[in-house]
Chain A
C-alpha cells in the first residue's frame, strides 16, 4: 500500500518539479502532465512483473516509475541532456528501455500498439510467459494504426492488455465529438475481446483489474481492453490554459482526485498513518531535490552528435560537408581549379 502511495506521490511531485524547472526555462519544448490520471498509470504499471513490457502514452509517467524508471532520467529527457535516454535526440517519454521493458511512443499516436504487438509476438514465439500492456487516450484510439493494432493483437491472440484512458479530452476536443459510442467498453466487441471498465482514479480498482487482465493474457487467453474512466485536469500541455473546458467538470473531478482519495482511504481504514505518508512525501522531495541538482548540472549533447547513430554502421553517419556546400579538400578554391588533368581522364 505504501509503495503504491509512494509511486502516486512521486509521479505528481516529479511533474510538479518539472513544472518548476519549466518555468525556470530549463525544459526544452513542451511539458505534458498527467494530473488527475496518476492512478491509472501507477495501478497498471505496478501490476506488471519482470520481463513484462509497458508502452506508455504521454500521460502515463507513473506507470514507468512503477516499473523502476529513475526520476533523473525523466528530468534528463525534458531538459535534453546528453546523458538522457535518447541522448538528447528525442523528447518527453519517447525512450525505449529494454532492461526495464519500456517501449516509448512516437508522436503519431496508435503506432506504438502496432510495435508492441511485435514484442508480444516475440514472447509467443519464444514461449516466454510475459505480457505487454499499453495505454491510449480515447483520442488516440481513433487512429487507423490503433484499429490495425487492435485487430492484429486480437486475431493473433497476443498477450496484450490495452488500457483505454477515457480522460474526456483529446487536446481541445471532447470525447463526445470523436466517437459515437455511449460506453467505451462497446469498442471491444469489434475485436471480439472482453472489456473491463474501472474507475481510473481509484488505484486499487485499477490494480485489481489490471492484475486480472494481465493474468488472462499470461495464460494465453489473449487481449483485454481495460477502460479507465478518468479526467485530464490540465490542458494538453503547459501552453494550453484549457479555456474550452467547462468549469463544473474540473471542480467535480477535483473532488475525486486519485491521490487525495487514496490517502484518505489508507488513513481512514488504518492501513497507513498520516505520519507515514508525510514521511514518504518528505523522502520524495529530498530525492527530487538531489535529482534536479544533479541533472541540471549536466550539459546538452555536443553539437556534432547530431550526425551520429542514424545507421548501425558508424561509417554511414551523415556526411556533413557536402550538405553544407563544402567540397572536402577544396575549400577556398575557385572555378575549374580541381579540373580534369589535360593528359586525359583520371583513372580510378
Chain B
C-alpha cells in the first residue's frame, strides 16, 4: 500500500526490485541459474522476469553450478553484468573451484576483472535440514578478491544488491531465507535506494556493550538488547555489518572504543567463523579499550540439523545473547 511516498516491501520484494531496476536500466545485466525462467525461481524472486526480459537475459541452465559461475565469469570478461543464482546457497559448493580459483584470482593474475554477482538463499530456521540451511560465508572468508554481503533489512538488500551488480569485483550476496517474507519495511517510492559496499550501520545505539552481527541475527540481537535495556537498564549497541568483505573494521573499532565491551553474534558455526576474525581485529586495534574479554555467540559446531528441537538447539537464541551480554556487562 502506498502511504506518504513509501510502499510496504518485503525483503524478497526488495531483492526482486533491485534486479528489475538494474535490468531495466542496463541491458548488459542478465541472470542465469536453475529454474529462474519459466518457474520464476525456487522462491519466486524472478517470477515474470522471463516474460519481461526474454530468454537471452533470464537463462535457465542445467543443474551445473560450476558451469553457471563459469559462464558468469566469461560473460563478465566480455563486459556483461551477470547475476548468477544459486537455488540454495548450500549448492555453491560445487562451484567452489570456479569462485576461488577463477573468479577471485582473475584480476590479480590477468588484470581482467570478473564483475559478477552470485546470490542465493542462506541460513537456518526454516526446518530445511543440512543442505538447505547453511551459512557459507566463512568458506570464502580466506579468499582475497571476493566481496561478501549479508543484508538484514529490505532497504539494504535492495541498495546493496544494486551496488553489487555495478561492482567491478565478484560479489557473493547472501539472502537470508528466514527473512524473505517475514521482513516488511516501508521503502521510499521516489528515492534511489543505493547502499555502498563495505559500510556497517548501527541498528541500535548503545553505550555499554557492542554486539557485532549480521543477517537474521541482527533481529535476535536487537530483541536481546531491548530485554537487557528493560530488565537491566544497560544500553547495548547493535552493529549490523551488512558487508562482510570488505569488513568495516573502523566502525567496529569505533564502537568498541566507546563501549569497552564486545560480543560477536553469528548464525554460522563457531570454529573459523567471522567472529574469530572480528575478535582478532579488535584485539589488534582496541585492546587497551576493552574492559572485558571478547565473547562469541554462534551456532554450535555441527551441521545444521533437521528436527525442530535439534535446529532450535543448534541456532543461537535470544536467551544465549542476553546471558552473554549480562556476563560481559557484569565483568
Contact = CB atoms under 8 A, between A and B. Distances in A.
A159 to B, nearest CB: 13
A182 interface: no
A114 B258 contact: no
A346 B144 contact: no
A327 B76 CA distance: 38
A346 B110 contact: no
A148 B110 contact: no
Nearest to B80: A122
B234 to A, nearest CB: 16
Contacts of A339: 288
Interface in A85-144: 85-87, 89-90, 94-96, 98, 103-104, 106-108, 111, 113-122, 124-125, 144
A118 B113 contact: no
B67 interface: yes
Given A90-B110, A115-B73, A340 B98 contact: no
B107 A114 contact: no
B2 interface: no
Interface stretch (B54-62, B268-276, B320-328): B54-62
Contacts of B105: 90, 106
Contacts of A311: 107, 145, 147, 168-169
A347 B98 CA distance: 44
A248 B74 CA distance: 43
B48 to A, nearest CB: 20
Nearest to B113: A312
B169 A103 contact: no
B323 to A, nearest CB: 25
B39 interface: no
Nearest to A104: B110
B260 interface: yes
A345 B168 CA distance: 39
Contacts of A85: 110
Interface residues of A, number: 52
A86 B80 contact: no
B110 A96 contact: yes
A148 B67 contact: yes
B107 A117 contact: no
A161 to B, nearest CB: 15
B293 interface: no
A120 B66 CA distance: 16
A122 B79 contact: yes
B78 interface: yes
B74 A148 contact: no
B70 A322 contact: no
A241 B257 CA distance: 62
A98 B107 contact: no
- Interface SS of chain B: helix, strand, loop or mixed? helix
A217 to B, nearest CB: 15
Nearest to B256: A345
B284 interface: yes
Interface string A155-174: 11000000000000000000
A310 B145 contact: yes
A124 B71 CA distance: 13
B71 A86 contact: no
Contacts of A313: 168
A119 B66 CA distance: 15
Contacts of B75: 118-119, 121-122, 125
Contacts of A114: 66-67, 69-71, 73-74, 98
Contact of B70 (A90, A118, A336, A346): A118
A122 B78 contact: yes
Residue with the highest number of chain A CB atoms closer than 10 Å, among B78, B101, B169: B78
A279 B203 CA distance: 76
A155 B62 contact: yes
Given A86-B110, A106-B105, A118-B82, A310 B144 contact: yes
A21 interface: no
Contact of A125 (B70, B80, B115): B80
Contact of A111 (B30, B101, B254): B101
A110 B186 CA distance: 47
Given A106-B102, A152-B61, A312-B169, A118 B260 contact: no
B101 A117 contact: no
Contacts of A118: 70-78, 80, 82
A200 interface: no
A345 B78 contact: no
A115 to B, nearest CB: 4
Contacts of A90: 105, 109-110
B77 A111 contact: no
Interface string A226-267: 000000000000000000000000000000000000000000
29 contacts: A86-B110, A89-B109, A96-B77, A96-B112, A106-B109, A107-B101, A108-B101, A111-B66, A114-B66, A114-B71, A115-B71, A115-B102, A116-B74, A117-B70, A117-B71, A118-B71, A118-B73, A121-B74, A122-B75, A149-B70, A152-B62, A156-B61, A309-B111, A310-B145, A311-B168, A339-B288, A345-B257, A345-B258, A345-B260
Given A118-B82, A148-B62, A151-B64, 4 more contacts: A111-B70, A116-B74, A310-B108, A311-B169
Top 10 nearest A-B pairs (CB, nearest first) are A118-B74, A114-B70, A312-B168, A122-B78, A118-B71, A118-B75, A148-B67, A148-B64, A90-B109, A152-B67
